[in-house]
Amino acid sequence: MLVVPGPRSPLLSERLARALGCNVAKVEHKLFPDGEVYVRVHDDLRGQEVALVQTTWPNDSLVALLLLQDAVRRLGPKRVHVVLPYAAYARQDRAFHDGEPISAEATLKLVAEQADSITTVDLHRPASLGVVKLPTRNVSAVPAIADHFRALPPGVVLAPDKNALDRAEQAAKLLGADVDFLIKKRVAPDVVEMQPRTLDVASKRVLIVDDIISTGGTMVTASQVLKRQGATAVSAACTHGLFAPGALDRLHTAGLEQTVATDTIEGPASAVTVASVAAEALRHHVAVR
């Protein structure tokens, strides 16, 4: 196998290649003066199983992936296994109003056109992969996140809403902690309210686990509620750290003990890697004939 690194996922590509014991191809990437994307793969891919790794956020990264898929195909690989560490548009997983697209499905279908398999990590709604008629795997970053918190384990793991409870339950089980959930209501794109709910967090260290942190609004409000109820320290963990401008500062000012994300989106908070779970999924795809 050979890993072809997308320009948005260079670090994870290196780590994935290390986990798989294979090489990383050389990829050139630049923007034309008018903002269009240019990519070129400088390796011979003939007959190889290729893992093409690219997070598709922001928008240019999706274009870069589509162009890389075309470039890779022209180099005659045996199969192309696309790894989408963070699959953008996953939260628009249904048409909430008439006239809206199902963006999660529209983007996955595009990627599937030039792939032999797709691997995602903590996809917002794993059922979105049902639209793809290829082998797919959605792997979980929660065990790797839980490992990170073993050194300073929480007494309680919380989900910011009921939909995120599975993830929190998995982390709580791995850390031997209690589990509970908040009830969140988004009142503006960056403002979240929590419905009153008494939680057993007094004098406890709390970890909130979500799939995505974007504006930080969810984590900031959750942390305020928990501190008011006597939590001694609150940390926030997510798989995909989108961190909209100002979000990391906002989280820091809110007094969170730690804000941790994985390398599905590479940035300053990426303290956890998903390389080993992604490698496991790729080994599975390659074994399937």
Nearest-approach distance from CB 220 to ligand R5P, in angstroms: 8
Inter-residue contact 156 to 204 (CB < 8 Å) = yes
Nearest-approach distance from CB 287 to ligand R5P, in angstroms: 32
Please say whether the dihedral angle defined by the alpha carbons of residues 137, 265, 210 and 90, taken in this order, is positive or negative.
negative
Closer residue to ligand R5P, CB minimum distance, 62 or 164 = 164
Between β-strands 184-188 and 191-194, what pairing exists: parallel, antiparallel or unpaired?
A: antiparallel
By CB atoms closer than 10 A (0-12, 13-18, 19+), residue 143 is: middle
The residue from 78, 162, 184, 227 that is catalytic is: 184
Which letter, b or e, does each residue of 190-224 get, where b requires 16 or more Cβ atoms within 10 Å of its Cβ?
Answer: bebebeeeebebeebbbbbbbbbbbbbbbbbbbbe
Inter-residue contact 207 to 159 (CB < 8 Å) = no
Which residues are near ligand R5P by CB under 6 A? 91, 160, 164, 190, 192, 210-218
Q: How far apart, in whole angstroms, are the C-alpha atoms of residue 104 and residue 85? A: 14
Closer residue to ligand R5P, CB minimum distance, 9 or 215 = 215
| Cβ atoms within 10 Å, residue 14 | 15
The question of whether 133 is a catalytic residue gets the answer no
Nearest-approach distance from CB 163 to ligand R5P, in angstroms: 7
Closer residue to ligand R5P, CB minimum distance, 231 or 261 = 261
Closer residue to ligand R5P, CB minimum distance, 254 or 282 = 254
Nearest-approach distance from CB 62 to ligand R5P, in angstroms: 18
Closer residue to ligand R5P, CB minimum distance, 4 or 209 = 209
Nearest-approach distance from CB 4 to ligand R5P, in angstroms: 29
Annotated catalytic sites, by residue? 184
